[in-house]
Structure 1
């Protein structure tokens, strides 16, 4: 199939997923809808398995992911991070709950290998999966390897609905508080806009090309700094941190990606790239490991929910928010960014309400995703491979 036709199909499916989310008022999130549409597309042959290579999305999408995460750093200033201490606690407690239940339940069900291999994957994404599957190669554990790949792909289908429901309830609750004037609001950074920052560039020089160039420079620096650590600090983590520093110094503007006038295309590339692994998933693969897959995913989700309910009692906060933050490990970025935006669009009635909901949910979900997917899961994978 010509690359332009493959690209057109992916763009149409991406648009359809957003329409589904809009029509269902985010009860079916665009990410979940896109995952189902793409899975059906691959299984029916509508989308060729080579689409991501043919269109260049795999290469270009990975490149754009760095720019996107760097830009996210401009949404998280240092006072915001200090305020997110509970978010980090909720995310880590969710991981603890899922890990304990997966490990203990796996032993009781005779699925110890699946449970151990699945622990870091349930806690994260591609990086953790790569570490685990590389360690299992050549050790006669092909079924476990297949399980790991399937878990990486399919855990989104259980994590996203849980998070979508919880975020929807939280957004509704927050909107009631906002309308009554009792809602907490994010720090207004506009008051500081009159004071020139150290590396701030004059407004007359700011153009979409300038914004893109600055994002690329910070992302490049992140790449080299991550390399200096031997990859121990993930590239994306450095992108986020340097984005925060660059924003604090004035080199990057708040919400800079939207100013580039290319944010829609970048979001498409990075979002579609999440599901590139679906091209290699077959019905036969799913059937062969269906029991351990259901068991591990079920135990993991149950562990997050139980720990989220406990955390909400300890910290006297909403159980919906605690569970949503904990379950973010099953999908990570950029879904942690897409879902709050989606909830704001569907729940809010005015621009002010939408902005308030997004400002309330987005920083929390971003921090939770970074803590679980990017940091904790890779550390867990390093510990687990010693068993195999």
Structure 2
């Protein structure tokens, strides 16, 4: 079925809006990404064309543009000291992946076989790159069902990750709100002032006068920083999206980029919409026949992996002073990555807070950890693990 661009766009936005509506009504108990994923999946199985997201104009060029700008913008939400202070988060995220591998390669191997767990584990620890590497390797060896499993693992893992993370983040947000309301963090009543004081030590660009902080000017500066990040990434041997995040932090520190740049440019919401629509396009590959063929190993490996992730990440998190909810949430980012980690955190904070000050405090505590966790697992670790596992299949 072929739709015109505004018809396809409206259908995609209707599904995303329904997800938000359910999330708001349930106070994030049912996260919007989960609802939208279910609606897209049912739609693909019934009336929606498989390429409806592409028909809505959310194709790869604009999606990649959105990713570059959004991740550079995310860097403007954190200061350098904050980013460097997240080394515990990185270790907790990596420990969660270690827990996944430990369970799948031992108990999982006994139940489902070596080739199956080797192909399914890297996609479970991260994103689309790991899925492509493992499915291609399995297909090249004539393991068709295993290749399908690697793809389905990437597509379906979010159905477990979204609700579990939402539940954990809501508990963590409630703890932080109670702490704030009890006056335990009264000293942190104006985080913006401390940030500005810290920025001033590195600032080499004078602040752009407010009247010149237009949509065009802010987007231009974000584009220039992202362009530089993409050019430098190969020399740093880092993923270009990770470098965009890092350069966003640096751009804000030196005063070239404004804090919350895309929000000030009034462009954040639309770019997030583009990205979310494109992510759900991957569900068009999860046909009922595919799922029926590999349903037992698919869900079995996911359950084993999550159990291993929970145990190891919570233990290490306790040593580092993280609550079990925060540590598990950081590790769970491997099941979806960005932007779902951002959206789940925002929704949980909104559902548990009443004032802007409370919300800012909760987000300051949770969002950097979730973003860093997502980049550690999905963008970096999963690709490394896939590179190792592809030789084992």
* 2:229 aligned residue: 222
Q: Is the 8 A contact 2:12 2:56 kept in 1?
A: no
> Which deviates more, 136-145 or 285-294?
136-145
Task: Write the mapping of 1:43-58 to structure 2, written as runs, cut at 5 A.
Answer: 43-45=45-47, 47-58=48-59
Question: What is the TM-score with the length of structure 1 in the denominator?
Answer: 0.95
2:64 is equivalent to residue 30 of structure 1: no
* 2:96 aligned residue: 94
Once residues 243 and 316 of structure 1 are traced to their aligned partners in structure 2, the CA distance between those partners, rounded to angstroms, is: 28
Gaps of 5+ in 2: none
In the TM superposition, residue 115 of structure 1 has moved relative to its aligned partner by: 0.9
In the TM superposition, residue 140 of structure 1 has moved relative to its aligned partner by: 0.3
Q: Once the two structures are superposed, what CA deviation does each residue of 1:147-191 show, in whole Å capped at 9, x if it has no partner?
A: 011100100011111111110101111111011121495673134
* 1:103 aligned residue: 105
Gaps of 5+ in 1: none
In the TM superposition, residue 379 of structure 1 has moved relative to its aligned partner by: 0.6
Size of the alignment, in residue pairs?
385
2:205 is equivalent to residue 199 of structure 1: yes
Instruction: Pick one of 200, 203, 217 that aligns with 1:210.
Output: 217
Q: Once the two structures are superposed, what CA deviation does each residue of 1:56-92 show, in whole Å capped at 9, x if it has no partner?
A: 2022122211110111111122210232222112111
* 2:350 aligned residue: 345
User: Secondary structure of 1:292's match?
Assistant: helix
Once residues 16 and 182 of structure 1 are traced to their aligned partners in structure 2, the CA distance between those partners, rounded to angstroms, is: 38
Question: What is the TM-score with the length of structure 2 in the denominator?
Answer: 0.93
2:336 is equivalent to residue 334 of structure 1: no
* 2:248 aligned residue: 243
Q: Is the 8 A contact 1:3 1:51 kept in 2?
A: no
> Which deviates more, 237-246 or 369-378?
237-246
Instruction: Pick one of 181, 190, 193 that aligns with 2:196.
Output: 190
**TM-aligned CA distance change 1:133 to 1:110, over 3 Å:** closer
2:156 is equivalent to residue 151 of structure 1: no
Q: Once the two structures are superposed, what CA deviation does each residue of 1:262-301 show, in whole Å capped at 9, x if it has no partner?
A: 1111111111211111112111100000111011101111
CA RMSD of aligned residues (A): 1.8
Instruction: Pick one of 260, 265, 286 that aligns with 1:260.
Output: 265
Q: Is the 8 A contact 2:132 2:151 kept in 1?
A: no
Q: Once the two structures are superposed, what CA deviation does each residue of 1:327-373 show, in whole Å capped at 9, x if it has no partner?
A: 11001001111111111111101111112111111111001001111
Instruction: Pick one of 343, 364, 371 that aligns with 1:366.
Output: 371
Q: Is the 8 A contact 1:61 1:269 kept in 2?
A: yes
Q: Is the 8 A contact 1:91 1:368 kept in 2?
A: yes
* 1:77 aligned residue: 79
Instruction: Pick one of 372, 383, 393 that aligns with 1:378.
Output: 383
Task: Write the mapping of 1:274-313 to structure 2, written as runs, cut at 5 A.
Answer: 274-313=279-318
